[in-house]
Amino acid sequence: MSPATQKESVRAADIAREAGKRLRAAQSLNATLDWSQELLDAEATRVDGMKRRTLLNGMPLALKDNIVTVEQPTTCASRILEGYRSPYNATVVDRLRAAGAVIAVKANMDEFAMGSSTEHSAYGRVKHPLDPERVPGGSSGGSAALVAAGIVPAALGSETGGSVRQPASFCGVVGIKPSYGRVSRYGLVAFGSSLDCISVFGRTVQDAGLVLSAMSGHDPLDATTLDRPPLPPPKVAADLRGLTVGVPVEYFPPDLHPGVAGGVRRTIERVQELGAEVREVSLPHSMYAVPTYYIIAPAEAAANLARYDGVRYGQRRIGPEGDIRSLYRATRGQGFGPEVQRRILVGTYVLSAGYYDAYYRKAQQVRALIADDFQRAFASGVDLLLTPTTPTPAFKAGEKTEDPVAMYLADIFVCPINLAGLPALSLPVGRSEGLPVGAQLIAPAFEEDRLLAAAAAVERAVDPAAEVR
Amino acid sequence: MWETVIGLEVHVQLRTRTKMFCADRTTFGDPPNTNVCPVCLGLPGALPVPNAEAIRLATRAALALGCTVHETSVFARKNYFYPDLPKGYQISQFDKPLATGGEVSFESADRGRVRVGVTRLHVEEDAGKLLHDRLPGKTAVDLNRAGIPLAEIVSEPDLRSPAEARAYLVTLRQILIYAGVSECSMEQGSLRVDANISIRKPGETRLGTKTEVKNMNSFANVERALEAEHARQVELLESGQRVEQVTLLFNAGTGRVKPTRSKEESHDYRYFPDPDLPPLVLSANWIAEQRATLPELPEAKRSRLESAYALPQYDARVITSEVGLADYFETVVKAGADPKAAANWIMGEVMTSYNESGQFPVSAERLAQLIQLVAAATVSHQAAKRVYTEMAGSDQDPGAAAERLGLIQVSDEGALARWVDEVLAAHPGEVDRFRSGETKLLGFFVGQVMKRSKGKADPKAVQPLLQSRLRIAAGTEA
């Protein structure tokens, strides 16, 4: 099913039928919110009718349900958008369809991408493909599970604070977050607009990289995309000779899970064997990333989610008083789940008169310091940074739902990168008691090509199925 | 005695073809919700992209008002819930506006030349409109206006009377129309005014508690509303009460202001930079180019017309009140008309029809020809008005029109002498009174001759002829 290995003679129609079969078999994961064999077939027919052989050539792609599509509902896994149908396609959807992708599967997620376990979906939690008692990570848990379970070769997720790399690490797949501004956000339902990035899951660096290159590039409909030459299809570096890989000391705390520590340590050894120089670096402000993130992202979210008021679209509930205030209260009070409400309240609070300077402005200053750390590390001659992706392997469902802060800390190594706007990826580097462990590679802004080439070399050198300790 | 302190916030619609952040049209009066798209409807996933033409027009407006245009300004989200606001926030500018520090000056009846500071000019998008009369018992929302580009122009509290507020608005509107940035039509909602007013004892340096007055649909009503609010505040303070900081709506029917129904929750708009829009960066060169290509503004045009055409100050002010009139005037003069005569025509017939229809019924070239006919005494001034009416709406040659109407002035002595003799013969009593010294009757005789000639007689030639006949007649009798 992977286009990188696919034979010329394979037809999209056959791939679509196989994908449908696998989707039916995997219903218990609860990883999808909408799909149909009819749409899979129609999409495959469209692709088979295309004149030229395309980059993705019939690849079935699952989309996180916060990427709008004309053919299917887009709910963000929220009651408030139940049944909502977008009149337009996201820019990435148009680009991927033009590149030959078959788009007919919408994936489950944490409501409005707020969560780290995909337990905050209004439509039920997603199960980890290797252990139904565990979470796949989040918020793009549905997309991650679909790729990990071998149902689709690649899927789109979105990141605001690590929502693709963290579930990629939990599920043992590749997750790539591009530089902010590399991929159009037009049609991605906004959460934290200064952080949001459409990102990719793949079984391999190559597959995920192909999808990324097909959808990247300037979009006149998104003023925050950069006018850069399109990202070329990924290359594989033969070795890492001449590269300097930095290992930030702050990303290896004493309480790091031993399996994760072991996996990353082994990866560092492979990187050295591939010829790279490995050097310790310091990113002292990264430790403030989670609190900084939980000011900036909710502030932007509170404004971004104000549009769900029941006036123009989505679910409307009339309140007891029958006036407009009461309509707002009822629609939003019943339409949003508890985690979304918590973040709207936090966001509203930190922007309020008298608190703005203490919270939002301060957070923006810390954000700049976090980004400066990376800048300095790269300026000191480091080409890439290598860290663990998550502090632990996948945790059990229900383990952190009562403790939001513990849940937030699952993103401690991934969310600094969103605040800095850098490209990064997670790739599987081993198993700890059967659960996948991921390592994270981080590159300077807009150096995805170097990141992907190096990651592909590391991917070949490590055995993701090997138990680590 | 109380001193009045007024500051105005004026919103003008920038004259663009499309909206501030999307490609929908800005046409006025289209059926509800026809000029809408995912962006201005606030649909999930839609993003704003700034309209370069709106930025250009706002920049020119700011420069025309003498503001400093900043090379970097920032769009911010102004958060509040209202059904006409699709995103739950308005994209505006807050602590880094496009421009600051301008000035508008005008003649005040009380204080002579007054200079009013322009605090800031920023760019923002308009909200939609609630319609309460379309669906029985329900409120409808029309989002055609949502996303229309606006410039908000905030004045310093430098105005000292409702009349000054009005004069400021007239001047501001004139400048913006000259600069070509806005239609400035209050009827079509392309110019809206909110006024802040407070009163204090003369000599007091601190400002009194201000109120905000809204819902005024003409400059005259701005003045009326501020008069009413001023009176209300004076009454409150003089009866020992306090002025509350409220928003009031003006009712043009009753001429009164009324506090808005909903208790003014002190709005916290929670402004923050809009992460969807990078800071707006304009180069110094581009700003300079905009400044260099501004058209001549009313103040400059007025003084140029005064000096270049030797026009009285009054004439120059009237003619420059509308850039269209001023342009017309200059074309008439360039086509060969005497400037003062042209000014008189424009302040009379021309302005009447221009104010009614916004059009010139007679082309500048034709009017110049007509003025030249009067100067050459081919038609009388009186007759020229009839010729003008005849020419209106067509492109007739004034000479031909005068001829057809039989209004070519007669200065041929034989024909004039016949009318003079007939008049003298018809008014023997007046002739006697003239001869007994009542010489002011000369005007009466001239008038009679004009009447008898149906306006064709050249009064300048009639007068000496009359004088010599009356004197001759007097001589023969004596």
| Domain boundary pick from B256, B286, B316 | B286
A152 near A101, Cβ under 8 Å?
no
Half-sphere exposure of A320 (CA within 13 A, CB side): 1
- N-term to C-term CA, chain A: 33
Q: pTM score, two decimals? A: 0.91
For position B473, what pLDDT does the model report? Answer: 56
Shortest alpha-carbon distance between residue A181 and chain B (Å): 11
For position A2, what pLDDT does the model report? Answer: 56
Coil, strand or helix at A432: strand
Mean pLDDT of chain A, nearest integer: 96
DSSP for B154-170?
EE-S-B-SHHHHHHHHH
* Cα-to-chain-centroid distance, residue A167: 8
Nearest CA to A115 out of A147, A84, A146, A78 is that of A78
Residues spanned by the domain of B438: 413-477
> Which helix or strand (DSSP H or E) is residue B400 part of?
helix B398-404
**B260/B320 same-domain check:** no
**B278/B328 same-domain check:** no
Q: How many residues does chain B have?
A: 478
The residues, any chain, with a CB within 8 Å of residue A259's CB and separated by 6 or more, are A393, A430, A431, A432, A433, A435, A437, A468, A469
- Inform me whether the C-beta atom of residue A93 falls under 8 Å from chain B C-beta atoms: no
Q: Please confirm, yes or no, whether A139 is among the known catalytic residues.
A: yes
Phi-psi region of A468 (alpha: psi -120 to 50; beta: other; left: phi over 0): beta
| Domain boundary pick from B249, B266, B286 | B286
- Bridge partners of residue B192, in order along the sequence: B11
| Chain A residues near residue B77 by CB distance under 8 angstroms | 303
Coil, strand or helix at A107: strand
DSSP for B220-244?
HHHHHHHHHHHHHHHHHHHTT----
Task: Domain A12-215: state its class.
Answer: alpha beta
Q: Please confirm, yes or no, whether A64 is among the known catalytic residues.
A: yes
How many C-beta neighbours within 10 Å does residue A91 have? 25
The per-residue pLDDT for range B51-99, each reduced to its tens digit, is 999 999 999 999 999 999 999 999 999 999 999 999 999 999 999 999 9
| Chain B residues near residue A185 by CB distance under 8 angstroms | 45, 47
For position B472, what pLDDT does the model report? Answer: 65
Asked if B81 lies within 8 A of A222 by C-beta distance, the reply is no
Asked if A190 lies within 8 A of B81 by C-beta distance, the reply is no
**B203/B64 same-domain check:** yes
**B371/B427 same-domain check:** no
The per-residue pLDDT for range B418-450, each reduced to its tens digit, is 899 999 999 999 999 988 888 889 889 999 998
> Is the sign of the CA dihedral B259, B262, B268, B269 positive or negative?
negative
Shortest alpha-carbon distance between residue A356 and chain B (Å): 8
Query: Does the pLDDT value for residue B475 go beyond 50?
Result: no
* Cα-to-chain-centroid distance, residue A274: 28
Coil, strand or helix at A411: helix
B48 near A221, Cβ under 8 Å?
no
Residue B85 buriedness (CB in 10 A; 0-12 / 13-18 / 19+): buried
Suggest the residue from A76, A85, A156, A307 to mutate for an interface test with chain B (most B CBs closer than 10 A).
Answer: A307
Suggest the residue from B36, B47, B129 to mutate for an interface test with chain A (most A CBs closer than 10 A).
Answer: B47
Shortest alpha-carbon distance between residue B258 and chain A (Å): 22
Closest by Cβ to A185, choosing from B47, B50, B277: B47
- Distances B73 to A433, B26, B122 between C-alpha atoms, Å: 55, 24, 9
Q: Closest residue of B to A193, CA-based?
A: B275
Token pair 């899951």 is at which residue?
Answer: A201
The per-residue pLDDT for range B306-357, each reduced to its tens digit, is 999 999 999 999 999 999 999 999 999 999 999 999 999 999 999 988 988 8
Interface confidence: ipTM more than 0.90: yes
B3 near B204, Cβ under 8 Å?
yes
B77 near A300, Cβ under 8 Å?
no
For position B377, what pLDDT does the model report? Answer: 82
Find the mean pLDDT for residues A450-466.
97
Kind of pairing between the strands at B191-200 and B149-155 = unpaired
Residue A367 buriedness (CB in 10 A; 0-12 / 13-18 / 19+): buried
Residue B191 DSSP one-character state? E
How many C-beta neighbours within 10 Å does residue A186 have? 27
**B393/B442 same-domain check:** no
**B327/B255 same-domain check:** no
Closest by Cβ to B45, choosing from A86, A223, A302: A86
**B440/B334 same-domain check:** no
> Which helix or strand (DSSP H or E) is residue A366 part of?
helix A362-379
Shortest alpha-carbon distance between residue B155 and chain A (Å): 24
The per-residue pLDDT for range B375-416, each reduced to its tens digit, is 988 888 888 998 999 998 888 899 898 888 888 877 778 888
Coil, strand or helix at B92: strand
- Distances A270 to A437, A455, B338 between C-alpha atoms, Å: 15, 12, 95
Shortest alpha-carbon distance between residue B286 and chain A (Å): 20
Q: Note whether residue B224 is domain-resident.
A: yes
B-proximal residues of A, 316-345, CB under 8 Å: 324, 328
Asked if B41 lies within 8 A of A86 by C-beta distance, the reply is no
Domain ranges in chain A?
A: 12-215
The per-residue pLDDT for range A201-242, each reduced to its tens digit, is 999 999 999 999 999 999 999 999 998 888 999 999 999 999
The per-residue pLDDT for range A250-265, each reduced to its tens digit, is 999 999 999 999 999 9
Computed over its alpha carbons, how large is the radius of gyration of chain B? 30
For position B254, what pLDDT does the model report? Answer: 95
Query: Does the pLDDT value for residue A5 go beyond 70?
Result: no
- Inform me whether the C-beta atom of residue A299 falls under 8 Å from chain B C-beta atoms: yes
Residue A189 DSSP one-character state? P
State the amino acid at position B308 in one-letter form. A
Asked if B83 lies within 8 A of A313 by C-beta distance, the reply is no
Coil, strand or helix at A378: helix
The residues, any chain, with a CB within 8 Å of residue A445's CB and separated by 6 or more, are A179, A180, A421, A422, A423
Cα separation, B411 vs B373, in Å, equals 14
The per-residue pLDDT for range A374-404, each reduced to its tens digit, is 999 999 999 999 999 999 999 999 999 889 8
Cα separation, B337 vs A104, in Å, equals 76
Residue A358 buriedness (CB in 10 A; 0-12 / 13-18 / 19+): exposed
For position A469, what pLDDT does the model report? Answer: 78
Asked if A193 lies within 8 A of B276 by C-beta distance, the reply is yes
CA angle in degrees (0–180, nearest 5) for A324-A327-A328: 90
| Domain boundary pick from B265, B286, B307 | B286
DSSP for A47-90?
HHT-SSPPSSTT-EEEEETTB--SSSB--TT-GGGTT-B-SS--
The total number of structural domains in chain B stands at 3
Closest by Cβ to B45, choosing from A187, A306, A348: A187
State the amino acid at position A325 in one-letter form. R
Token pair 């009140």 is at which residue?
Answer: B321
Asked if A187 lies within 8 A of B49 by C-beta distance, the reply is no
The residues, any chain, with a CB within 8 Å of residue B476's CB and separated by 6 or more, are none
The CA-based diameter of chain B, rounded to the nearest angstrom, is 106
The residues, any chain, with a CB within 8 Å of residue B137's CB and separated by 6 or more, are none
- Considering A139, A169, A179, A216, which one is annotated as catalytic? A139
Coil, strand or helix at A452: helix
For chains A and B, CB pairs below 8 A equal 103
Q: Note whether residue B291 is domain-resident.
A: no
Asked if B47 lies within 8 A of A348 by C-beta distance, the reply is no
- Considering A117, A121, A163, A184, which one is annotated as catalytic? A163
**B228/B96 same-domain check:** yes
Q: Sheet of B191-200: strands edge to edge?
A: B68-69, B99-108, B112-125, B149-155, B3-13, B191-200, B211-214, B247-251, B256-259
Find the mean pLDDT for residues B251-268.
79
The residues, any chain, with a CB within 8 Å of residue A70's CB and separated by 6 or more, are A85, A86, A87, A88, A89
Ranking A123-132, B208-217, B361-370, B396-405 by mean pLDDT, the lowest is: B396-405
State the amino acid at position B355 in one-letter form. N
| Chain B residues near residue A300 by CB distance under 8 angstroms | 272, 275
- Inform me whether the C-beta atom of residue A356 falls under 8 Å from chain B C-beta atoms: yes
CATH of the domain at B445: 1.10.10.410
Closest by Cβ to B38, choosing from A88, A185, A311: A88
Asked if A223 lies within 8 A of B48 by C-beta distance, the reply is yes
Interface of chain B toward chain A, CB-CB under 8 angstroms: 38, 41-50, 77, 79, 81, 83, 86-89, 141, 268, 270-272, 274-278
Q: Sheet of B75-79: strands edge to edge?
A: B89-93, B75-79, B272-273
Asked if B45 lies within 8 A of A299 by C-beta distance, the reply is no
Nearest CA to A354 out of B73, B245, B266, B124 is that of B266
For position B477, what pLDDT does the model report? Answer: 43
Q: Please confirm, yes or no, whether A163 is among the known catalytic residues.
A: yes
Asked if A348 lies within 8 A of B87 by C-beta distance, the reply is no
B321 near B346, Cβ under 8 Å?
no
Closest by Cβ to B275, choosing from A81, A194, A221: A194
Asked if A300 lies within 8 A of B87 by C-beta distance, the reply is no
Q: Note whether residue B293 is domain-resident.
A: no
Ranking A2-6, A238-242, B199-203, B468-472 by mean pLDDT, the lowest is: A2-6
For position B301, what pLDDT does the model report? Answer: 97
Scored b (16 or more CB within 10 A) or e, B439-461 reads eebeeebbebbbebbebbbbbeb
Suggest the residue from B37, B276, B277, B280 to mutate for an interface test with chain A (most A CBs closer than 10 A).
Answer: B276
Query: Does the pLDDT value for residue A192 go beyond 90?
Result: yes
**B249/B329 same-domain check:** no
**B64/B205 same-domain check:** yes
Nearest CA to A175 out of A397, A393, A455 is that of A455
Kind of pairing between the strands at A424-432 and A435-442 = antiparallel
> Which helix or strand (DSSP H or E) is residue B153 part of?
strand B149-155
For position B317, what pLDDT does the model report? Answer: 94
Query: Does the pLDDT value for residue A3 go beyond 80?
Result: no
Cα separation, B232 vs B250, in Å, equals 12
> Which helix or strand (DSSP H or E) is residue A451 part of?
helix A448-461
CA angle in degrees (0–180, nearest 5) for B35-A87-A52: 120
Shortest alpha-carbon distance between residue B69 and chain A (Å): 22
Asked if A352 lies within 8 A of B268 by C-beta distance, the reply is yes
Helices (DSSP H) in A274-359: which residue ranges? 289-304, 324-335, 338-350
Shortest alpha-carbon distance between residue B75 and chain A (Å): 12
| Chain A residues near residue B50 by CB distance under 8 angstroms | 223
Asked if A224 lies within 8 A of B81 by C-beta distance, the reply is no
Cα separation, B93 vs B124, in Å, equals 7
**B21/B158 same-domain check:** yes
Closest by Cβ to B272, choosing from A186, A220, A299: A299
Cα separation, A64 vs A137, in Å, equals 14
Ranking A172-181, A430-439, B253-262 by mean pLDDT, the lowest is: B253-262
Shortest alpha-carbon distance between residue B356 and chain A (Å): 42
Token pair 């004493």 is at which residue?
Answer: A254
Closest by Cβ to A193, choosing from B44, B141, B275: B275
Shortest alpha-carbon distance between residue B32 and chain A (Å): 14
